[in-house]
Structures are given as C-alpha cells and as structure tokens.
Copies of this chain bind each other. A is one copy, B any other.
C-alpha cells in the first residue's frame, strides 16, 4: 500500500480528542476542519518547557531520497507513548513545491505518518501562504518606494537583496528582470524568486518568541542600502505592522495526529541547507509545555540541521535536548562507501565498512556538544542480517547505544526498543549542550569552529567579496549574531561529490547574506539553490482527483 492509501484507511480521531489527551480545553482550539487545529500561544508554560525532555532526531549525511528522519521521529513518539510516556512529536510543515517535484509528501511514511496527509502536504492551515504574502508585501513596498516621488528613501536598487518567494518548484523564476513595460511598470532591475521555505520571514516566524518579538524581528529585516550607503530596514518602510497582521494566525502552532492517534505539532518549515532547518521555537515550547517527551527533527545530516538546531535555535530559546537520535541506514552507509545508488539493495559489506566513517563523524559531532545519543538503524526490507550485525557491532565497539527502528512497517511497535534506549539516555542526562562557538567570537572564528569541529574541514576561505561583506557587518554591529551556514546536504564538505568522511578540504565561502530579522549571518558555501526546479517527469502529473474529491497519487 502507498502512504496515502495507508493514511486514508486509518480511522482518525476528531482533533478535539487528540487535544484532550494532552489537556487542552476544547475552547482553546481553533479548528481547521475536524482534523486540524491551531493552538494559542498562551499554552506555553516556561517552567514546563525546562522540565520537558526534548529529543532531537538527526541523521548521517543523507542520500537524495532521505533516510527517514521524519518517519523515525513519528515512530519514536508513537513508541514512547506505547511504553507509557506522554510524548508529542513536533515537526516542520512540508513545503508544497517539492510535493509536485521529485520528493512527494513529507509527512512520514508507511505506518509512521502524521495525518491528514493530503492536507498537510498541500495548503495545510495556510502558514506557508501567509509567510509568502508577508515576504512579497515587503518586496512590493520596496519596489514601490524606489519608484515613488514623495516617499523615496533613496534606496539603491542594485543593493536590494530581498527577493520575492513562491512555494513552487519553478526554476524560471530564479533569475528575472522585473519592472519592465515603461514608466507605469516601475524601475527595471535584476531580481528573482526563492522558494517560500527559504524566506527570511519563514526563519523569523520560527525564531520568534511572541507576537511582539515577531513584530520587532520583521522590522529588523535588512533590505539594502541607500545610494549614500546607509542601511535600510523594513521598519523604514513601515512594513512590519501589515506583515505581522498577515502572520497573526500563521504564528500559532498546528495540532494534528499520528496514525496511532498520538498528538503531533507541525509548525514552520525552513530548509536546513539554507536556513535553520527546524520547526518554530513556539511549537517546540508548546510541545514541551504539554508533554513529558518531545521528539523533534532537524533537517538533513547532523552537520546541517543538528548544528543549527543547537547553536542557533536552542541557544536563542534557552532549551537543551536530553538526547540525540542519529538515524543511519544500511543503504546510505553503503552509498558513502562507494556503492552506486541503483545497487544499494544488494548486500555489500565492503562498501558498508568503507561508509561507516560518515556515521563516525556525526557521532563525534554530537559528542562535541556533550549530549548522549542513540543510533537508530532505520530498517529497509533489503537490509541483510550480516549488514545490520556489522553496523550494530560497530556501535557496540564504539560504546554508542544503538537500536533498530522499524516505524515504517510496524508503527510505534517497531520503535519500542529505540524508545526504551532514548528514555535511558534522556533520564541520565543532566547537562546542557555545549555550543560550538560563543556569540562573542568574531564571525570568521565562528565559521572556523563549525567547519573544523562539525564538518572536519581544515579551515575556511573567503572570496574578496565575502571579505568586504564581513567588514560591512562589523560596521553594522552584526558581529555577535550566530551563523547559519548554507552548504550542500550531500557531503560533510561543501563539495557534493565528496561522500563518506572527507578530509583535507576547506570550506569556501563565496558570499554572505544577512538575516538581521531572524538574527543570523548566512555564509554561503558553494552553489546552493534557493529555488528548485521541476524534474523531467513532475510528480504533479500523477496526482488525481475523482468526482467526489478523493485524492490519489500523493506519496
């Protein structure tokens, strides 16, 4: 059965009943149909936030289809509930663009899914749309100001880096010239669109601690410079009020359920290769206020999602996970050991052994944060006993807890062993995580520390352009912001072809972006696309609806 068939055949509960399980009074729910609800920010209880046990699910360097972090997260939360813990999974919302491209849905898989998966994979409760509109209102205000006679802030159009966004895989919008058509069409300039998940407004929504904080961050967005070189911010255009109003519902976390009827909170969706790659601070805190355990994931490998989750999000929010789960798959490890993507279903112990250093590096990275961990071996039907024995022996020798995770075919039942090991790790964890860098470090040192400690690089090199930008950030007083590296997810290095555990490389930072509202500096290593394209055969062509409105072809 396909994911959507499993999801559609599952008897789901009214979201009122799910809310009741975690003590939310019905009058606090804002329903979006019978299976989705928005939660008020008033549910956050800062004392419970500190008491709750936060579990971070991360992964080894993934192959293109991903290694199943979302599936493991959902399975683990269901497993924790099965062994008697009040657990909530708190995840990102999927982006619509990839649903129509290659990836399909992003709401888990098999017996470990969140539902209603059709809605979650489509417009859901409208959060992405609200973010898109807030982003694009600012863009329209900027261009309107540039061509205005009476309110002109003297913005130099060549310095404007704020792009429009659309939640669609649409490569044709990546680079455009806008403002054509003569005098009534504005001022022609080079610009482009990013996918909505890449918007700084998405990052801001996920970093905000309250409505008031949202408003302040929106006002702090750095737009570009005047012809005289003065920095211009969104607040200079009085943009933040209307932007915040557009986000007044989007800022509230969304409650749904797993296939097993356990609560799941989905909120925000920044990508991990270009942004912080994790759900909102408000959603994580809501989960911690309502459950004893919160299982959350951060995108791609531990070099991207986990690093940013800890150094950016947890530091800002004043929270710390009690344990980290590293998802590993036999197939991805063999891929890192040199086996071809098309042959990963065949046994190859030699490739597995050669690929294991990738896992080793991610284990060391989590150790650098001082956090306990469990390696979750996400089961595939093609894994052989010899292969899984090899991997488990490796972890045993290393002294790292390890467990099978079979949420995909068995749901929570396939994850109870993992759940038990996670509970042992979390209950014995008394320390806070140790950040990779201090906020007082200069930006170059921050990058150097992340590159060497987390990626295993020898250092960082900067283009002349990047060096000039660093100087500018210093002048603007942005030096004490954390960094949010934009780097390929396909390698520990910035070269996507270097699989396994590469050594002897440096990270080449081409340029920087400044997300002054979200509160971080974005060093860009290599060519990172912020607007994907559709493949030769888009998934969208397989999506069908019958006369009664039933959906098929989403997976």
Q: Is A170 an interface residue (CB 8 A)?
A: yes
Q: Is A172 an interface residue (CB 8 A)?
A: yes
Listed A/B pairs (12) with beta-carbon separation below 8 Å: A31-B34, A133-B167, A136-B166, A137-B540, A171-B185, A172-B179, A173-B178, A175-B180, A180-B190, A181-B192, A242-B543, A245-B545
A548 nearest CB neighbor, chain B only: B211
Q: How many chain copies?
A: 2
B242 adjacent to A140 (CB under 8 Å): no
Near B by CB (< 8 A), chain A positions 176-196 give 176-181, 184-187, 190, 192
Q: Is A475 an interface residue (CB 8 A)?
A: no
Q: Is A452 an interface residue (CB 8 A)?
A: no
A549 adjacent to B248 (CB under 8 Å): yes
**C-alpha spacing A554/B553, complex, angstroms:** 41
A544 adjacent to B177 (CB under 8 Å): no
B170 adjacent to A136 (CB under 8 Å): yes
Kindly identify which residue among B170, B190, B210, B541 contacts A140, using a CB–CB cutoff of 8 Å.
Answer: B170
Chain B residues, CB < 8 A from A212: 547
B168 adjacent to A174 (CB under 8 Å): no
Binding site for B on A (CB under 8 A): 30-34, 38, 96, 100, 118, 122-123, 126, 129-130, 133, 136-137, 139-141, 143-144, 148-151, 164, 166-181, 184-187, 190, 192, 210-212, 215, 237-239, 241-242, 244-246, 248-249, 251, 533-534, 536-538, 540-549, 551, 553-554
**C-alpha spacing A242/B544, complex, angstroms:** 6
**C-alpha spacing A184/B176, complex, angstroms:** 13
Most buried by B among A151, A170, A245: A245
B177 adjacent to A540 (CB under 8 Å): no
Kindly identify which residue among B33, B187, B534 contacts A31, using a CB–CB cutoff of 8 Å.
Answer: B33
Kindly identify which residue among B137, B175, B543 contacts A241, using a CB–CB cutoff of 8 Å.
Answer: B543
A143 adjacent to B170 (CB under 8 Å): yes
Q: What 10 additional pairs, Cβ within 8 angstroms, besides A126-B126, A211-B546, A241-B541?
A: A100-B242, A140-B168, A151-B536, A164-B173, A172-B178, A174-B180, A210-B547, A211-B545, A238-B540, A248-B551
**C-alpha spacing A30/B14, complex, angstroms:** 12
Chain B residues, CB < 8 A from A33: 30-32, 38
A177 adjacent to B177 (CB under 8 Å): yes
**C-alpha spacing A192/B176, complex, angstroms:** 10
Chain B residues, CB < 8 A from A168: 133, 136-137, 140
**C-alpha spacing A168/B165, complex, angstroms:** 12
**C-alpha spacing A246/B96, complex, angstroms:** 10
Kindly identify which residue among B176, B190, B238 contacts A541, using a CB–CB cutoff of 8 Å.
Answer: B238
A133 adjacent to B96 (CB under 8 Å): yes
B242 adjacent to A541 (CB under 8 Å): yes
**C-alpha spacing A549/B208, complex, angstroms:** 14
